Each structure stands twice: as structure tokens, then as C-alpha cells.
Amino acid sequence: MNRYFIGVDLGATSGRVILATLSDGNIALEVLHRFPNRLLQIGGKYYWNIYALYEEILHGLTLAGQRRIPVTSVGIDTWGVDMACVAADGTLAGLPRAYRDPYTNDAPEAFFRKVPRREVYRRTGIQIMNFNSLYQLCAARREGMSALENAESVLFMPDALSYLLTGEKVCEYTILSTSQFMDPRTREIDGGLLREAGVDAALFPRVVLPGERVGLLCEEVARQTGLGRVPVVAVAGHDTGSAVAAVPAENGRFAYLSSGTWSLMGIEVPEPIITDDSYAMNFTNEGGVDGTVRFLKNITGMWLLEQCRAAWSREGKEYPYEQIMHMTEGAAPSPAVIDPDAPEFAAPTDMPAAIRTWCAAHGYPVPADDAALMRLIFDSLAAKYAEVLGRLRSLAPFEIECLHVIGGGAQNDLLNRMTADACGIPVVAGPAEATALGNIMVQARAAGVVGSLSEMRQYIRRSIETKTYEPKK
């Protein structure tokens, strides 16, 4: 018998409503609705239009309802850290502030005057980033944000959207783990840190783990979409948490690389790794399925190439990806590599010029043409992945036997080959749709289709094709 699940996957620039059909041990995905997610800039402040997202989700659910599909459940994943405030009458108290808003730029340093930086890392295991939820709350209190002043509850983005669908409030573990006010050992909110930020921990509802039911679609939504009172299940609400749940690993001795515009490389462990070395290397501990911990590091990914393509396009030079791969493979290996995470590459107006300037400033050969610059980017990314993997190996409680590449980068044949050679271990590429698959499989487990994280991954292995890249000897 076929089982049907709907996964809502929201990124910072776009969203999708995806229908999954599980049949005979296999998964088929169909995108019911794809839509943009645009920042709103109002009065110099940046917001998410949560009402527009809600409408788009309803449209996707309605498309399923029109087809009379017997949906088992719905699950939502989004990006991390951002929050919505709910007033005492149950309405949203304004639009959620977006992590790109510069109001948090100096918030961490102000907070460290109350609690030292190293102490914050010791208590949370989360790398210091100015837009972490803890510093957003500090900045909101400092400016007297009316939404927070009038809030009865504060919900992270996937939980806020689930609330709009069901009327039920929860705080999902994996999305909470990105906040920098969760104790990763107890998986509970650190009320002491919140008090220093001027916020009461009671604003946040009960913590739930992936697979727990949030509630049923409220009567209005059930009627409008035609789905009926379908359950909404808390999946790994943080999109990377859902993606890592879909790693088709056969055992736990792996590292993963969630690869796209930005990359995240890490391992999955049962307990957080919080040491002087992890602090010095700026590794972070985020929540995963089954209470696991994703010990990882953020790395710049294909951002460099995408920004170069944009600059070249302004000059009238259009390079489709197939041509880029051909030009890169035909170019000579780079005599030196750049640091993709250098601050000069964070948001330059002209990325090719920024890369050439960086090379000249560091005494490196400047790429002679576009092909050489493409090759430099690929060589540098592979080298960076190898560097971070080396640091992971020094901290991991097990031997890392292979690297699983998931997300859009799983389809980048050339970079995967170069990464395998640089890292010296097999690279297993796929699935590209890891986030959606992880979202769906958590729902499938809640419905009793599978019984464990290992079985979820086994199910995914049967359903997708992966490609293995062996390193050159």
C-alpha cells in the first residue's frame, strides 16, 4: 500500500512543498509547488514575510487536497536561528526579523561583557556568530522591539509555521540547537543565558524531538486545503538536520559534506564535543535526529563560483555549468590555493577582482584567465575540505572511513573527484535531495513505516543512486 507524506522545505531564498510516495520500500518525490522567499526591507530593518510563506504552503497543500491524496502527515524544515513572536491573543506580534539584519553586528561583544565568550561556548557548544538567536534577542531587547515586548511566546520559524497550521506551539530540538541558548548535554534551554539577554525562558514552549506530533491541521486549514485533519509532525526542523538524517551511510564511521552555495562538513556523534581544541577550531555542535549531535564546521562552498558567474555575466560572458566543468578540467592545476573563507570573499562587488587582488596581496600567482580562475576555485575548495576533514579526524571519537556529499553539490562530478583526491578517502555522492528525504523519513518513522535512524538510511539507500569516487593512489 502506498503511503503519502508532504515535506515543506524552506530556504533563505526559496521554498518547496514536496509530495513523497513510499511504496514497496522505495521513495518517489514530486515538487507540488515551488516559490520564492524574499526578504522585506522596511525602515532599514530586514524581515521575513511569514504570511506570504504561509499562503504558499497552503497553496501546496491545496494542490495535494485537490488530487484527493490521502496524506499521512506534514512536516516543515527551514533555516536556523530566526524567530517569530506570538502575542497573548494568539496572533503574530509583527514579522520575524531576518538574520541578515545588521542590528546584531555588535551584540555578541556586548553579551560577552556579561558572560565571557569561552563560557558561552562551554555551555552551548555553538560557534560564535553575530546572528545566533541569543544575540538577536539581546539586540531586540536593546532596541525595545515591540514584537518581543508584547510576546507571550517565541517560536522558531518551522515551529511558527506549524503553529499557523495547527494552533499548537512547540520548540523543536534541532532548530533550538542553533540558537546558542540550549545546553547540548541536557537538550534543554539554558535559562541563565536567556536571563542575561533579558529574556524569560518561559517564552519558549515545550521542547520536542523529531518525530513527535505537533498537532492536527486546524479545522479552517483542513477545510481550505481539502486534506482533512492531517497530523503535522515535528521533523528535524533545521534543514541541515534533515539533510544529515538522509545520509545513506551503512555505519557511523563517516563524515558528511552538505554541499551547495555554502558547505557544512561534520560528523554525527551521540554527545557534544566541547573542548579547547573544538573552541579554537570554531567547530559547532547542533542537534540531529534521535538526539544525536551534528559536530560540524561551516565552509564557503560554490558561493565563489556563483559570484564569479554573476560578475562575468555583467561583462557579457555567460558560462553554463557544463562549459565551466570543461574549462576547469582543461586548465592546469593551480600553483597555490586561496582560503575560500577569507573575509575578502564574503560579499565583494566583483568576485574575480577580489580573488586576483587576494592572490597578489599574498604573493601568489594571479590567474591569467577565467579558466585558470575557475580551476583555482575548485582546487581551493577541495583543499579546504581536506583541511577541515583533517581537523575533524583529530577530534572524532572514531576513524572516518568515507565522506558523504549530500545536497546540490552531490551532482558536481568534477569537484567530488577532486575532493576524493585531496582528502584521500572515498567520496560517496548523493542524495541531492537530502533535506527533503530526511524530512519525509522522519515522518515515515513517526507513522511506523521504519523503526530507527539506521532503517531510515537503509530505506534511502534502496531508493536512490549514489556514486563513489575513489581517491587516486
* Rounded CA separation 440/74 (Å): 8
* Rounded CA separation 76/157 (Å): 9
Residue 111: helix, strand or coil by DSSP? helix
Residue 205: helix, strand or coil by DSSP? coil
Q: Which of 227, 274, 288, 257 has the alpha carbon at shortest distance from 65?
A: 227
Name the active-site residue from 9, 159, 190, 239: 239
Q: How many CA atoms lie within 13 A of 316 on its CB side?
A: 0
Residues with Cβ < 8 Å from 221, sequence gap 6 or more? 58, 61, 165, 166, 227
* Rounded CA separation 137/204 (Å): 12
DSSP assignments along 259-319, one per residue: -SSEEEEEEEESS----HHHHHTT-EEEE-GGG-EEEEEEEE-THHHHHHHHHHHHTT---
* Rounded CA separation 279/117 (Å): 10
239 classed as catalytic: yes
* Rounded CA separation 297/169 (Å): 30
* Strand-strand pairing, 231-233 and 83-86: unpaired
| Conformation bin of residue 28: beta by default, left when phi > 0, alpha when psi is -120 to 50 | beta
* Rounded CA separation 153/83 (Å): 10
**Angle at alpha carbon of residue 265, lines to 136 and 365, rounded to 5°:** 100
Q: Which of 278, 286, 266 has the alpha carbon at shortest distance from 122?
A: 278
DSSP assignments along 375-425, one per residue: HHHHHHHHHHHHHHHHHHHHH-SS---EEEEESGGGG-HHHHHHHHHHHTS
CA dihedral (108, 104, 236, 196) positive or negative: positive
Q: Are 442 and 210 in contact (CB under 8 A)?
A: yes
CA dihedral (402, 403, 406, 411) positive or negative: negative
Give the active site residues.
239
